[in-house]
Chains A and B, each alone.
Chain A
Amino acid sequence: MFLKISNLSKLYADGTKALTNVNLNIENGMFGLLGPNGAGKSSLMRTISTLQEPSEGTIFLDDLDVINNKEDMRKVLGYLPQDFGFYPKVSAEDMLHHFAILKGISNKNERKEICDALLHQTNLFEVRKRYIGDYSGGMRQRFGIAQALLGNPKVVIVDEPTAGLDPQERNRFHNLLSEVGENIIVILSTHIVEDVRNLCSKMAVMNLGQVMFEGKTTDSLELLKGKIYSTIIAKEELEEFRKQHNVISTKVSEGKIIAHVINDSLPNSNFTAVNADLEDVYFSFINSNKN
């Protein structure tokens, strides 16, 4: 499986540029799409999921022209949107059967088998008779992934699935995702660096509708090797400090501020070199654009 996104742009009616000339090549496995809120991740996800029409560009899944052949794309797609709900007063089991039918799983036994399997594996089997409306956030997300996996999809798209989950539920969700399989494409969009670090071998960073980086996660760390320096400053100094240095991130710690800057060499002795982690990568792309 190979998903090729070429020159994809999206211009909204009000003139907002949601996507600008996006090119991505995605192979089987987990693919992380990292970017801040408003970076265009959701627009991209929706476009791949056939829910939005690009202004320009093409998307191909192997030979399948996704934009002009939405029906066929939907047959192999599992999609978990960022913000979704459920019909009120419908139990998880019924809801899953409902989606199974929408996905064309015609055989009754097969339908039962896969629904049960998914409920078991998302650990919802015990509570399958409960209304989804009564579920907690984590259970909802697990149910969301269950419905996305109905019908053996070849592409699974999950949009910000861990936002708002407590650490335990997030962990649980990561475990689930990591199992989803190596033989299909899973695109995970998130603004949480940790999600990508934990799960994805490949990733892209997006900001303001553009792809800032695409490649292996490990490669991205290489880019910044030896360029990230850290120092501690007082709060009052921050403004002045920003003017002098290329600050990519600041963190508050015990009343002081730990600032990471990007520079080819050690700026001065107040700084210590640090090993770049994914977070630095992320911030460096976002903030380099700002400059």
Chain B
Amino acid sequence: MFKEIFLFELKQWLKRPAIYIYFVIFLTVSLLIGAAISGLFTGVTTDTNSHINSASAIAGILTSFSSDYLLGLITILVCVALMAGCVQKDFQYNCFSFYFTKPVSKFSYLIGRFSASFLLSIFVMMALLIGLWISLLLAPNNNNQLGEFKFANFFIPFVMFTLLNTFTIGALFFSIVTWTRNMTSGYVGSLIFLVIAGIARTITSDIDNKTLAAIIDPFGQQALDTVTEYWTPAESNTRMIPFNGYILYNRLFWFALSCGLIVITYFKFNFNQFLNPVKLFGRKNSERTSQPSKLIQSIGHLPKVTQVFNNAFACKQIVFLTKFEFKKITRSIFFYIMAVLAILLTVLISAFSGLIYGTETWPVTYTQLDLLGGIFTFFLMVMVIFYSGVTIWRERDCKVDELVGASPINNAIIFSSKYFAIMGLGIIMYLICIVTCIVLQATKGYYNFEIDLHIKSLLGMRIFSLMIVVALSLCMQVFFRNRYFGFFGMVLIMLGIPAILNAFDIALDLLKFNSSGSQMPYSDMNGFGHTVGTFFLYKFYWLGFVIVISTIAIAMYKRGKESTIKLRWKQTFKQFNLKYKLILLVGMFLFVGCGSIIYYNIRVLNPYKSEKEVEKLQVDFEKNYKKYQNEPQPRVVESNVQVDLYPDELKCNIKGFYYLKNKHKVAIKKIYININYEALIKNFEFNVSIKKIINDTSSGFYGFELNKDLAPGDSVKFDYDISYEPKNFIMKKQQTKIVYNGSFINNSLLPSIGYDPNSEIDDNTTREKYNLISKQRMAAINDTTAYGNTYISHDADWIRFECVVSTKEGQTAIAPGYLQKDWKKDNRHYFQYKMDSPILNFYSFLSANYEIKKDKWVNPLNKTNEVNIEIYYQKGHEYNIEKMIKGIKKSLDYYTKNFSPYQHKQVRILEFPRYSTFAQSFPNTIPFSEGIGFIAKLNNENIEEVDYTFYVTAHEVAHQWWAHQVIGANVQGSTLMSETMSQYSALMVMEKEYGQAAMRKFLKYEMNSYLQGRAMERRKEVPLMLCENQQYIHYNKGSVIMYALKDYLGEDSLNAALQRYIKKVAFQEPPFTTANDFYSFIKTATPDSLKETVKDLFERIVVFNNKVKNWSYTKTTNGKFKITATLSCIKTQNDSVGRAFDVKPNDWIDIGVFAKNEKHQNSYGEIIYLKKIKINGKEQKFELIVDKEPYMFGIDPLNKLIDKDNGDNSMDKNGKVIGGGIGDVGAVVVKAE
């Protein structure tokens, strides 16, 4: 019987088009995704070391088909469509009695059905493999992005993830739908899955949740990530996904759970129960005896009623029906489940979203607004799509369709009542979350609730979006004859269209459903910014669109039994009266009107350059002007500028002059000027007579021939007058530099002198396409021809600087230098700044409505040496101002004592909007993003907590030495002396303030970022001293290495070496210093015994894998404790793509013994023993006697060395390894100059 049922089910499906349609959908989507990844249609490829057809790449794509929101949704939809209903349909179509009365065994019936539909799902999923295989097979390979095609690379991940996930999802839906006999429970089940996956992803932003996330993610993606995240390109290209560790546990866990569900379903199921489904909290079906029948009274004389069919009553009907539909949705257990899910989601995301280095953020209202975006919006969208199906099909599902269809009610009324009910659902969900957010804020001690902001964001923005999505989703259900096709239609519009646009590199967002144009996030400083108008314009455009299709949907609304579109149209054709036509017209007008305005603005008025066009421009620039690169040019020695910022008009005028000096030994004949091509040039003028020889406005390149040569040592004055102004607010890509409140621009908007090689294309694959010779990321460290420039400027060394910045009244404008005077004129506020000592050609201009906090640092070693401290901040962001001031003071203490005197008399921190999240150090001026530090919520009791406000401040202040005193030449390794040294300096200040415990967590995040970063390397990984501006090297690896170096050499002798180095190179004129110089000072300070170790740190890429294999201790007779341990130390040296070669360890490595930490299970207690011992073998036995009873034993327990798996460096006495997992760190990168 099993066979018959199985085959029957199979045949039934194969006869219907649905299964093939699903297949084609999957094939298309996977083709498109493969095409987008490989540049199949666009031919756009970039440098890469990683193959896109390796097992880990394929596994990544396949898992994204479950865990990516939209892709996951279509997978789940197919599973629901195919598997959830496989038993339920017998009830729905009233054919259960056929089966239940036949001698069919439970096993044959249930398992036969399930396995048939599972097999079909697998068939549909196979389309993924085929689509990926084909698109990658056809992909261009000019950058060697394709490795050898191996069937196993596709098939094994498919089995491991896709197949198992399908089984899991299918088992869950099959079970709950069979129990409850209600498809809605299937939809809710799918939401729960997506939420669990979302939660798994979210919690990894705390480093210690990796294990948990890897297990609970139902789709295995977190497990895959955890296992493969440190794989270097070489590893990814060659390794198969290992079926062990996290992946094994995760897969087993979910497989067992699914099997369990099926077994339970099997035992719980009986044919009787089928007629009485499990009711979740349903009221008991109380037995009532039927009423004794009375005589029927006369029905002939019913009271007369009046029927009214006017607009007023139509409105009442809408209200009544909306209420009815709304009640149907909300008075259901599923609604409560979803509300709870929404709350849970909000709480969890809120708990983890703000983490930076694992440290919390104050829940200021904008962070709460962000919570309601992202996954929550997606969650709501899924609800909307599902409930659209439920509501539109309600009449048919309940078989009331003929009753309603024959009643004199207008289609428009039915449709709009369903529409409003779902809108109501959306709004309720939003309100629930807003209340949750407010409660969360209160629980964290934050009471500035800004309910008006919530309302603005809800009423102003979210509801508009919701209106559009709900309308389309309902229309889809009206248009399609099958609700699953309706779901797919909706998802494909939201997923498929962007995928197509992506695959063909079309950047017209008018085609992306419900697009909002370029938007900026809400900022406490700048509010919603200047994109609000753009937002509404786009929304009206889409509103027009949905009005049009809703009108059509109303005309087509299925009423009665006609199912063909043509007849449905004929049925309602007569209804399509003037009113409808008028509405249709309004919709068309909005759609076409707003669409045209947008198109005109983003394509004609503010011509947007596609990536390809920009590339072309770069190519032209290089081909035309590269020849001038080596022509001697005068250098900027003085910059004097007036910047007029107009925040309300988003524009600025920049007028000023440079003194350009011929520092060469030959006379200069020609001067070239380079400027951002968006600048409007009003005037370029020299104080000598010249002839314009190049005037290329599209590249922004200008050439002038001097009538009289500029002799060596002579200067010329160059005046310029330029402006930047948008033609209109609506732009394809929104600028966030000049905004209503919180403008932040720097000198890159000003003209520069000579050919700027930074404007060239870096990517060698792209260069090859345009026949340009390949290019190194940076000049080699020994290339002395590049020593003439610093790595941040090609046209200046040290300059005199003076400026006037003006802004609208009410705002404060700030630039590097000391305020000379300020005055007001014509409703504008002018500020004059002057620098008293030479600075790098690197300055910024900011303007905002600031609060100011002032303080003063007095040098403890020299009381006459004072520095003014000023913090310019947004009102309401007072939380960490004191921390910042303290950070500045401690930094100045440490740096002046250990490095050299501070060259300025002030340090200022300036808050800017969170459109970028970095802090940057300009001369005595540090712009600091609103998104980091200002709203960090520091908890003084947690000793392991990373006070990143303090850290970032210390890092930026350190740049006043490491960059603004010592600046490397434009060659490899120069960021070692700026970024790495600023990291080191900040670490030292932090260690003094917070102790070693805080270091450990910080360094763990740094190591994690390094290991993840090198896995993504597209060109080549280099040793620290050859760093080519790679952030994962100069920040993250740099921190770890410098901390280890300090540990080996000792803080004092290291600092002494640094001091000598600074003394030699600070403020030097060209040729500039290099990492070779720096390293020679380090080497001098290194004892012979450590020479090899220091070489490992700076000159090689060395990765350890240290672990404790086992250890035990015995009490000795004299009351001491004897420890015996086996240690394992695997040391590898790596090449530039991450191929690892074992080397024999011969290193001094920390051995630590710790007492128990009563508070934190996974932390160390008191240090009983911590010393370096020489390790010179892969495995080493070790004995040690300590005074106190040990609890934990470890090799390199404080993670000073780069360690591939630093979670197993220590082991407690029960054999449990600790160190905590390493997960994904929040997206903050602290950039600095």
Contact = CB atoms under 8 A, between A and B. Distances in A.
Do they bind each other? Answer: yes
Interface of A: 13, 46, 49-53, 68-71, 74-75, 77, 79, 81, 83-89, 98-99, 101-107, 110-111, 113-114, 117-118, 120-123, 126-127, 130, 134, 136, 139, 147, 149-152, 168, 172, 175-176, 179-181
A120 B301 CA distance: 12
A99 B407 contact: yes
Contacts of A122: 296, 299
A114 B305 CA distance: 7
B1220 interface: no
Nearest to B328: A87
17 contacts: A49-B406, A53-B571, A86-B400, A87-B328, A101-B317, A102-B407, A102-B408, A104-B309, A106-B316, A114-B302, A117-B303, A123-B291, A123-B294, A139-B290, A151-B307, A172-B296, A179-B298
Nearest to A180: B299
Contacts of A113: 303, 305
B313 A104 contact: yes
B1084 interface: no
A121 B394 CA distance: 29
Interface in B1054-1089: none
Interface string B819-841: 00000000000000000000000
B291 A126 contact: yes
A159 to B, nearest CB: 9
B307 A104 contact: yes
Interface in B259-298: 285, 288, 290-291, 293-294, 296-298
B579 to A, nearest CB: 13
Contact of A51 (B328, B399, B405): B405
A74 B406 contact: yes
B303 A104 contact: no
B561 A179 contact: no
Contact of A87 (B394, B408, B561): B394
Given A121-B297, A149-B302, A150-B305, 7 more contacts: A49-B406, A51-B405, A71-B410, A85-B398, A99-B407, A121-B302, A136-B290
A179 B300 CA distance: 5
Contacts of B291: 123, 126-127
Contacts of B316: 101, 106
Q: Pick the 9 closest A-B CB pairs, nearest first.
A: A51-B560, A85-B399, A74-B408, A79-B406, A104-B307, A106-B308, A81-B402, A102-B407, A179-B299
Given A118-B302, A151-B307, A70 B313 contact: no
Nearest to A80: B403
A98 B561 CA distance: 22
A66 B571 CA distance: 11
A117 B302 contact: yes
B305, B559, B567: which has the most chain A beta carbons within 10 Å? B305
B107 interface: no
A68 B576 CA distance: 12
Contacts of B854: none
B399 A152 contact: no
B400 A87 contact: yes
A69 to B, nearest CB: 7
B404 interface: yes
A103 B567 contact: no
B398 A86 contact: yes
B919 to A, nearest CB: 59
Contacts of B307: 75, 103-106, 151-152
Given A134-B288, A180-B300, A107 B571 contact: no
Interface of B: 285, 288, 290-291, 293-294, 296-300, 302-309, 313, 316-317, 320-321, 324, 328, 331, 394, 398-400, 402-410, 559-562, 564, 567, 570-571, 574-575
B303 A51 contact: no
A110 to B, nearest CB: 5
A79 B294 CA distance: 25
B309 A85 contact: no
Contacts of B288: 130, 134
Contacts of B306: 105-107, 110
Contacts of A81: 402-403, 406
A179 B299 CA distance: 6
A104 B402 CA distance: 17
B560 to A, nearest CB: 3
Contacts of B300: 179-181
Nearest to A85: B399
Nearest to A135: B290
Contact of A84 (B303, B308, B400): B400
Nearest to B568: A53
B403 A84 contact: yes
Contacts of B567: 53
B308 A104 contact: yes
Contacts of B559: 51
Contact of A120 (B290, B297, B403, B406): B297
Nearest to B287: A134
A69 B573 CA distance: 10
Nearest to B312: A106
B406 A77 contact: yes
Nearest to B308: A106
Contacts of B290: 136, 139
Contacts of B562: 51-53
Contacts of B574: 68-71
Given A123-B296, A176-B299, A52 B560 contact: yes
